[in-house]
Structure 1
Amino acid sequence: MESEKFVSNLEEHLKSVWQKDVKILNVLHLSGGACQDNYALSLQTKKGDQLEIKEVVLRTDKAASLLSSLSKKDEFQVAELLFKAGVKTPEPILLEESSELIGTPFFLMEKIGGRATGRYITKDSELNHYRKNGMVNDLASNLAKLHGILPESVTNDDLNQKLKFQAKEKYILSCIHELRNSLDQLPEAHPAIELVLNWMESHQPTIDQIVLVHGDFRTGNFMINPNGLQGILDFEFAHWGDRHEDIAWLCMRDWRFGKLNKEVGGFGDRIDFYEAYETESKIKVDPKKVTYWEIMGNIRWAIGSAQQAERHLSGKDKGIELAAIGRRTAEMEWEAMRLIEDLENAI
């Protein structure tokens, strides 16, 4: 990606789009996880005699992204919705749908400060004050703003379709069926997952309202520094769904990075997060629904980690990160069954 051809092609494209001189001063490959590639670009723009340095991030897919992820066009449009709704997220700047420039579609967004790594957010001492005085509130209130985006407020019919709107009475069952289909495509059997799916089918809660769901709202997908939350990232799994999905996903054991006593992302307590969310949204959080979606989330991640490992094992997209993720499947199966046991014992 850092080749001279890449730089020159992108410079010429940006000059054409922005109608001013553009020079790329620096390209830095950032960590993008198993599915995405991110590159920090320092752009020098010139219009007349005025020079300006603009720091942006170029976001694109790796060779094999997950089938359930949105296209770059759809992810860009979701980011625009959130930015306009006042959610703290990097400003989306430019979408390129063609693959001709760099081999795959991409978009540019504002480069923000902070770090997203789990160890930093949950354990680094420079965040001690913010962890105790604001982190939970900031994340809960921004998640509530995100959930304030409703299907009827989105006039882009194509995006609505890509976000997979379904009636709230049918939504949970469709999620279970989707998980069953994904499970059936794996080459090996997972009886524990089958058992949990059967339980979920017979214990479906009601949904109060279909809202925009981030789909991967967890420690690792928001940027933080001692000054506070800098921005929420990564909307490739956004969809229409139940607000409790995102709350549950953040609370999953796997996203606590060893700080198991802090059930909200390894940095906060559920009661504080629920209260902050309710203050912003004016809607009550149902803890039992959160637990149900936490069970669902563990099964989704169990299947997802098995899919990631299969990408490596099949030779389709070899990588040590993909291979390592595969070991999480058994952990998520155990956690889902533990949560069911706790929920049943509490009734």
Structure 2
Amino acid sequence: MDIKDLQEKVELHLTSVWKEPVKVTEIFHLSGGACQDNYALEIQSNVSKKSLVLRTDKGGSLLSSLSKRDEFKVAELVYKAGVKTPTPVFLEEESSVIGSPFFLMEKIAGKATGRYITKDKELDGYRKTKMVSDLASNLAKLHTVVPEMVTDSDLKQKLKLVPIDNYISQSITDLHQSLDELPEAHPAIELCLHWMELHAPNIDKIVLVHGDYRTGNFMMNAEGLQGILDFEFAHFGDRHEDIAWLCMRDWRFGRIGKEVGGFGDRKDFYKAYEMTSGIPVDPYKVTFWEIMGNIRWAIGSAQQAERHLSGKDKGIELASIGRRTAEMEWEAMRLIEELENAV
């Protein structure tokens, strides 16, 4: 959509909904990745000025991602749980306004890029002192959201509440199904899925899982953590999923020795998480979910490539992501070998 056209449509709609004149005094496109579109808005009304972000889908989002309605509802739950995240402001569920559903949230300061968070000198002080503990404590707060707290039955269904005893087996079954839908064979993924079936741990409790808690999905500046972003892959699951996802090799941006997001150490993250949650972190479960995470991302990368190769949604970013599949396959097998040798 032309940005001028978007500006006019948002002005008209918010004026109608909020029952007061609304003027979008500034609007520009933000980076949103392969699946999302984000726009920064400066909004002026009779009583206030607001700096907001409009978040909507591109032509085709990943099949496993939440709708904009559900993502907004999750953001509300997480915000109420005390997680540092942008304030949810407004949800529009109808596609007729701008061509797809969207929501507005508070615009916060900071940057989310991997290179900035892991290497920029501006963050040296924060990186050495509170970055790990801030992210661990906010994740622990996010995990206080449990199924009983979700009163919206439709949202609870979308968050895929699975009985605790079946959760891991269902996760593996879902990955088998996604793998079978790909046009090419991936024997390394098949091998890893078989290993996971034989070595699945127990789960202590089903909680809300961010689903993409990693470097790139939180905003920071020299003053510290500004906010956790992007709840489009949220679901009910095992708390160790999120911890493992943040520790995956692919999110370290070249700083391989810093296993937590490319900026921290596991023991420090585990300790800070335990201090806030009062629940011990199980290193074996983290590694198991790290293997699962690599396989999930390997399949997701292959799916992104297929969107490009099939002609459904052409894009160089989709094609380049697809090339990462082999890296995740290798990492998953390396982790399995590491666990087997430790026995």
TM-score (norm 2): 0.99
Asked if residue 40 in structure 1 is aligned to residue 36 in structure 2, the reply is no
Matched ranges for 1:169-318 at <5 A = 169-318=165-314
Give the Å deviation of 1:13: 0.8
Contact 1:311 1:317 in 2 (8 A): yes
Structure 2 contact 85–228 (Cα < 8 Å) conserved: yes
Which of 48, 51, 59 pairs up with 1:55? 51
Q: For the residues of structure 2 that align with 1:252 and 1:5, how far apart are their CA atoms? A: 41
Tell me, in whole angstroms, the C-alpha distance in 1 between the residues paired with 2:163 and 2:222: 41
Q: Within 5 Å, which residues of 2 pair with 1:56-205?
A: 56-205=52-201
Corresponding residue number in structure 2 for 1:322: 318
Structure 2: gaps spanning 5 or more residues = none
Residues of 2 paired with 1:194 and 1:151: CA distance?
Answer: 32
- Tell me how far apart the structure 1 counterparts of residues 288 and 75 of structure 2 sit (CA, whole Å): 28
The runs of 5 or more residues in structure 1 that have no matched partner are none
The structural deviation recorded for 1:247 is: 0.2
**1:6 Cα deviation after fit:** 2.2
> Hey, what's the Cα distance between the residues in 1 that align with 2:112 and 2:4?
30
1:2 Cα deviation from its structure 2 partner? 4.0
Give the drift of 1:167. Answer: 1.0
Q: How far apart are 1:176 and its partner, in Å?
A: 0.3
Identity of aligned residues (%): 72
Aligned to 1:341: 337
Task: Specify the alignment match of 1:28 in structure 2.
Answer: 28
Deviations 1:170-215 (A, max 9, x none): 0000000000000001000000000000000011100000000000
Q: Write the deviation string for residues 93-127 of structure 1: whole angstroms up to 9, x where unpaired.
A: 00001111110000000000000000000000000
Query: RMSD of aligned C-alpha atoms?
Result: 0.8
Contact 2:134 2:225 in 1 (8 A): yes
Call closer, same or farther: CA 1:3–1:260 in 2, change over 3 Å: closer
Q: 1:2, 1:27 within 8 Å by CA — same for their partners in 2?
A: no
Quick one: distance in 2 between partners of 1:65 and 1:59? 13
**CA–CA distance in structure 1, aligned partners of residues 160 and 233 of structure 2:** 11
Deviation at 1:274, TM superposition (A): 0.1
Cα separation, 2, equivalents of 1:170 and 1:218: 26
Report the secondary structure of 2:317's partner residue: helix
Paired residue secondary structure (2:212): coil
What's the offset of the Cα at 1:268? 0.2
How far off is 1:46 after superposition? 1.3
What TM-score do you get using the length of structure 1 for normalisation? 0.98
What is the alpha-carbon distance in structure 1 between the residues aligned to residue 97 and residue 20 of structure 2?
19
SS at 1:46 equivalent = coil
Q: Could you report, residue by residue, the CA deviation over 1:16-63 in whole angstroms, capped at 9, with x for unpaired residues?
A: 11111111111111011111110001111114xxxx321100000110
2:40 touches 2:51 (CA, 8 Å); kept in 1? yes
Distance 1:211 1:129 in 2: 33
Distance 1:4 1:265 in 2: 38
Stretch moving more, 30-39 or 257-266: 30-39
